[in-house]
Amino acid sequence: MSTPDFSGEAKLHYSDSDFTILETGAYVMCAVSGQRIPLDRLKYWNAELQEAYKDAQVSTKRWLESRA
């Protein structure tokens, strides 16, 4: 049995209050900035768009854009 790879990009499914790890990894990419977000620091995402965001400011900006 192989050891999971926690060094690359993870694949997640975002729900309203949490997320499910579909493929193991150490980070996800911010949908707006393209920056890596370590999973232990991931706090902002959009379940409808299935996107992760690096911080509240970027999350709010994307939310406003998606409502325009």
- Residue ranges of the domains in the chain? 11-67
Q: Mind listing the pLDDT tens digit for each residue in 7-65?
A: 899 999 999 999 999 999 999 999 999 999 999 999 999 999 999 999 999 999 999 99
This prediction's pTM? 0.86
Residue 58 · residue 64 · CB < 8 Å: no
